């Protein structure tokens, strides 16, 4: 029986970072995920301000001639209402977070026992007595267990015959070892609460590793030594532990991030409301005259104050950009790859 192209192909791992796998530029990745959310909020406001000012360049005459105080008051009353809506959304988010923490004693105990049970599975797999309590430390323990199992697979295949089966298993184990070492180094200085921990675990493409390991098991059953099969199976089982761990810490990070954005909105909402209220009730456009580089001064003042009023909304948008991007890249907890991938070798004709 002739081998198909899929059966003879070498291991072709995807890129080692999420940015490279999804094809985002560094600038886009910084804006959506990696950048400091305060800076991203500032960028959003600066871009908006620049667009408004450029539009003002094409407005002939004075703003005072085109708009009266009542028109400007209506504008900032709308901004005022938008800010209030943002506060209402913040309160809704806070209630959602609080509702997830509620539950009777039995439910809380079940959660505790589930976490302790999973921690015990990881400790048994990693061969450690007590795993670290910090998220980064716990994930490093899990990653190092995977790395150790992959190294044992490499040692095992080194004693086997040099054929296609052992070559593919050895190549797979080497890929897993190298990437695990990279992620372990990234987690070494990561502190939970920052995006560093989530960024590192997003780069670890465990879904591809689990799928490839299981394909090698299915493809080379009986073709490699029994000891190698056992070690490869142990490696796959360790990789499968990474999925629920990543999902759990991602959800905790979401709660942490949503609490942060709620706090930031509450810090910034009162100044924004005060500025909007002043512009609605006390601003007099006739007090500003003249122009700067050909742009009406009153127009610049109104645009700048409007950006201050929109700051809480810009902060909310910046945080939501990160959350929805991370969610899009982690929609599944299992070994599914939600992007274009060739699985033709897995489909058998009936």
Q: 76-135, pLDDT tens digit by residue?
A: 888 888 888 877 877 777 677 667 666 677 777 888 888 888 888 888 888 888 888 888
| Greater model confidence, 349 or 157 | 157
pLDDT at 47: 93
> Nearest 5°: CA angle at 36, between 85 and 25?
105
What is the rounded CA–CA span in Å between residue 19 and residue 33? 10
Percent of the chain with pLDDT over 90: 4
Q: Is 63's pLDDT higher than 60?
A: no
**What value does the mean pLDDT take over residues 279-291?**
77
Distance CA 250, CA 270 (A): 31
pLDDT at site 86: 77
What residues form DSSP beta bridges with 338?
Answer: none
List pLDDT tens digits, range 218-248.
888 777 888 888 888 889 988 888 888 888 8
- Cα 186 to Cα 189: distance, rounded to the nearest angstrom: 7
Q: Positive or negative, the Cα torsion across 187, 188, 189, 192?
A: positive
User: How many whole angstroms separate alpha carbon 32 and alpha carbon 327?
Assistant: 12
250-277 pLDDT, tens per residue? 888 888 888 888 888 888 888 888 888 8
**Residue corresponding to tokens 């797999």:** 125
Whether residue 46 has pLDDT greater than 90? yes
Is the whole model's pTM more than 0.85, yes or no?
no
CA atoms in the 13 A half-sphere facing the CB of 114 = 9
CB 165 within 8 A of CB 220: yes
Who contacts 21 (Cβ-Cβ below 8 Å, separation ≥6)?
14, 15, 205, 339
For residue 27, give Cα distances in angstroms to 24, 143, 164, 330, 339: 8, 29, 42, 21, 22
Comparing C-alpha atoms, which of 36, 37, 115, 98 is closest to residue 255?
98
């Amino acid at each position: 029986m002739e081998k198909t192209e899929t059966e003879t192909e070498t291991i072709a791992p995807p890129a080692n970072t999420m940015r490279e796998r999804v094809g985002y530029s560094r600038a886009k990745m910084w804006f959506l995920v990696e950048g400091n959310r305060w800076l991203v909020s500032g960028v959003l406001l600066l871009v908006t301000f620049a667009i408004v000012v450029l539009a003002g360049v094409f407005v002939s005459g004075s703003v005072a001639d085109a708009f009266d105080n009542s028109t400007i008051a209506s504008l900032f009353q709308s901004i005022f209402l938008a800010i209030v809506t943002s506060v209402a959304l913040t309160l809704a988010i806070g209630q959602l977070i609080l509702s997830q923490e509620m539950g009777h004693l039995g439910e809380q105990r079940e959660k505790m026992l589930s976490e302790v049970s999973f921690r015990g599975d990881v400790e048994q797999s990693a061969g450690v007595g007590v795993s670290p309590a910090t998220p980064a430390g716990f994930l490093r323990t899990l990653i190092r267990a995977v790395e150790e199992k992959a190294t044992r697979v490499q040692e095992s295949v080194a004693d086997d015959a040099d054929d296609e089966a052992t070559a593919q298993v050895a190549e797979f184990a080497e890929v897993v070892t190298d990437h695990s070492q990279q992620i372990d180094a990234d987690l070494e200085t990561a502190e939970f609460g920052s995006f560093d921990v989530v960024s590192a675990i997003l780069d670890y493409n465990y879904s591809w590793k689990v799928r490839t390991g299981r394909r090698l098991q299915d493809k080379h059953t009986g073709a490699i030594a029994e000891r190698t099969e056992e070690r490869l199976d142990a490696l796959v089982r360790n990789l499968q532990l990474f999925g629920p761990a990543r999902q759990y810490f991602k959800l905790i990070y979401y709660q942490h991030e949503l609490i942060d954005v709620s706090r930031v909105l509450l810090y910034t909402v009162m100044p924004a409301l005060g500025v909007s209220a002043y512009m609605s009730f006390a601003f007099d456009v006739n007090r500003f005259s003249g122009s700067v580089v050909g742009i009406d001064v009153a127009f610049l003042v109104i645009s700048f104050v409007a950006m201050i009023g929109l700051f809480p909304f810009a902060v909310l948008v910046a945080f939501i950009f990160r959350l929805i991007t991370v969610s899009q890249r982690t929609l599944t907890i299992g070994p599914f790859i939600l992007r274009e991938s060739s699985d033709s070798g897995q489909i058998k004709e009936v």
